[in-house]
Structure 1
Amino acid sequence: MRQYLFIPLCLLLSACSPKKYPVAMDAISATKAQHIINDIQTPGQHSRGELIEQVSQSFLGTPYQANTLIGSATVPEKLVVDFNGVDCFTLLDYVHALSQSASKADFLDRLVKTRYKKGKVSFVNRKHFFSDWFVSQPRNALDVTAQISPKAEVVHKQLNLKADGGRFIPAIGIFERDITYIPAKALDQTALDAIHSGDYIGIYSKLNGLDVSHVGIAIRIGDQLYYRNASSLQRNRKVVDTPFMDYMQNKPGIVMLRAL
C-alpha cells in the first residue's frame, strides 16, 4: 500500500494561512515534483506552451489511474499529489501547476488554484468540468475554440444535469453554460495549424450535462501534431502521445483552451 505524507499546508509554505488543509503526497511524487521544478523549467526563457510541453513530457509512460483524489460529499477533501498514476484531468492539474512553479511550496499553492474554485479546497469547489478552467476563478486558461476555426459551433448546456433528470455529481449544482466546440469534420489544415503546442484539448461530449469526455495536451513534434493524454484504453493504460487526427477518428469535436 502506498504511504502518503499528510502535511498541513502551512508547514510547507513560508507563512501559515488561517485556512489549513492536509496535503496527501508520497515521497516519490514529492521528489519528482522537485526534479521537474529544478531541472526541466527555465523560467523566463520559454513560453507557457513550451513549459507545458516540457513538463508534460516528464509524465509520459505514467500509469493510468482513476479516482486518486481524496474527498467526496461525505469525505473531507485532501490536496492530493500522486504522480504514480494519473487520469486525464489530474494529469492536466499537475502539468498546469508545475509549469508555473518555482518551488515545491509554490507548486502546492498553484495546484490549489488550478484544481479548486476560489482556491478553496473542498469537494464541491473542485473544477469538475473542463469549462470550469476558463469560467471559474481563478481562471486557468482562455477558451480559444472560436479563434481556431470560424466553423466552431455553440451549444447551450446544463452541466451536471443528466437526460433522466438526475445529476452526475449529486453534491453540486447545475451550471447553465454555452460551450463552443469545433466539429471534427471542420478540423481542416488551417484549424490544425492554429493549435499551439501546449494547448489543452477537450474532446467535446454530445451527452446532456457534460462539456467534454476526455482532456489532453497538444504537442508538436516536427510537422506532426500529437495528443498527449492519460489513456484508459486497454492497449495503453498510461500517458501516451497519439497522432492527433488518428485520435479524432469517430470523435464529435474539440474544445480548445490556452493556458494563462
Structure 2
Amino acid sequence: MQNIVDKSIKGIMILAGLVPAMSYAANTDEILFHNEQNDTVAINRLLSDGLEAVGNKPGNAKVLYFSEKFLNSPYVSGTLENESETLTVNIDEFDCTTLVENALAFAYTLGEGRTSWRDFVFNLQRLRYRGGEINGFSSRLHYISDFIIDNSYRGNIKDITSQLTGSDYTVKTIDYMTRHKDAYPALADSAQYTHMRKIESGYRSHRFPFIKSSKTGLRNLWQELQDGDVICITSKIPGLDVQHLGIVKKINGVPHLLHASSTAKKVIIDQTPLHEYLRKNRNASGIRVIRISN
C-alpha cells in the first residue's frame, strides 16, 4: 500500500501540481442544494439523530447507519453535472457514487462530534474533490483510484484490500474519460481536457490491490469484511478502474451490497449475495475495499 501511495504522490500530487489549499463552502451561495431549506434542516436532523443512535460506535457503523437512511431513495444519474463545477448537495436521489460520498461525509462529520449541515458540506467537499478544493470539472475525483489515493493521503479513508483474504494486484492504465470525451460535455473545454489528461498520466500502468470475483466467496473474507465497508467493483472495461460502488451489509454473516441500483431504480440492499452478484456481472473483475478512518 505504501508503494502505491508513494507512487501516487509523486505521479499525481507533485508531477501534476495538484495539491491545492483547502477551501470551505462557507455559505449557501457557494452550494447547489436540491432543496436548500429542506436539505439543511434534514441534514441537521440526520446528524442529530445519528449522534444519539451511533455516536459512540465505530466509523463503519456510522457509514451503514446513514446508508440505510437512504434506502428506497430514487436512483438518478448525473446529479453533479452542471454548467459550472459547484458543490452539489442532494440527499433525495443518488447514483452509486453519490450514495457512498454522502454516507462517508455524514459518518465522518458525526465522527468529529459535529451535527451542523455546514460541517457536513465541508466534509462532502473534502471527500469529493482533490485536496478538498473545487477548481473545475477535473478537480472532482472521478476515478475511484484517484478518490482512494487522494483521500487516503489526507487520512480520510484506508484501502484495506491488500490486508484481506484472497487479495492480489493488477496493473491497468486508467484513461477512460479522455478516451470517451464526447460522453463528458465538460471535457469540451480544452483546459479541463488537458487537466484531465494530466491527471490520467499519473495512472499509466497503475498498480493496485484487488480481490478477484472468483475469490469473493471465501468464508474467511466474509468474516474480515465489516458492515459499512465500501465495495469498489473493479472493471474489465479498457481504461476504467471501477464500474460500481456499494456498501457492505451482512445478512446471516454473508456480505450483500447496499447500493444505488440502476436496475431497481432506487437504493436497495441487494438480495443476491455479493459473491453471486459479481459472478453474474460479466464486466466485473473483482473488488477493492475501503474503510472510513474515523
- Structure-1 separation of matches of 2:27 and 2:148: 31
**1:57 has 2:87 as partner:** no
8 Å contact from structure 2 (residues 26, 118) kept in 1: no
Cα 1:10–1:180, aligned 2, differ >3 Å: closer, same or farther?
same
Q: Which moved more, 1:194-203 or 1:246-255?
A: 246-255
Residue 155 (str. 1) matches residue 183 (str. 2): no
Note closer, same or farther for the CA distance 1:227–1:112 as it changes in structure 2 (3 Å cut). Answer: same
Deviates more, 1:131-140 or 1:57-66: 131-140
Identical positions, percent:
25
| Matching residue within 206, 219, 240 for 2:268 | 240
Deviation, 1:54, is 0.6
Deviation per residue, 1:32-84 (Å, 9 max, x gap): 2122101123465100010011111100000000000144xxx3211111122
Q: Name the CA shift for 1:39/1:181 in 2 (closer, same or farther; >3 Å).
A: same
**Which protein has the bigger helix share?**
2
Q: Is the 8 A contact 1:228 1:240 kept in 2?
A: yes
Point out where structure 1 has 5 or more consecutive residues left out of the alignment: 1-7, 13-19
- For normalisation by structure 1, the TM-score amounts to 0.83
> How much does 1:211 deviate?
1.0
Are 1:200 and 2:230 an aligned pair? yes
Contact in 1 for aligned 2:213/2:275 (Cα 8 Å):
no
Deviates more, 1:22-31 or 1:121-130: 22-31
8 A Cα contact 2:31 2:89, kept in partner: no
CA distance in 1: counterparts of 2:176 and 2:246, whole angstroms: 24
Q: CA RMSD in A?
A: 2.3
**Partner of residue 80 from structure 1, selected from 79, 83, 88:** 88
In structure 2, how many angstroms separate the alpha carbons of the residues matched to 1:63 and 1:136?
29
Structure 1 residues 94, 68: CA separation in 2 closer, same or farther (over 3 Å shift)? same
Q: Letter of the 2:169 partner, please give it.
A: V
Equivalent pair of 1:70/1:79 in contact (CA under 8 Å): no
Q: Relative to 1, partners in 2 of residues 1:77 and 1:198: Cα closer, same or farther, differing over 3 Å?
A: same
Q: Which runs of 5+ in 2 are unaligned?
A: 1-23, 188-192
Deviation at 1:224, TM superposition (A): 3.4
Q: Which moved more, 1:186-195 or 1:103-112?
A: 186-195
5 Å-filtered alignment, 1:166-205, equals 170=187, 171=193, 172-173=196-197, 174=200, 175-176=202-203, 177-187=206-216, 188-205=218-235
Matched-pair contact (CA < 8 Å) for 1:134–1:140:
no
Distance 1:76 1:203 in 2: 29
Residue aligning to 1:15: none
Partner residue, 2:51: 41
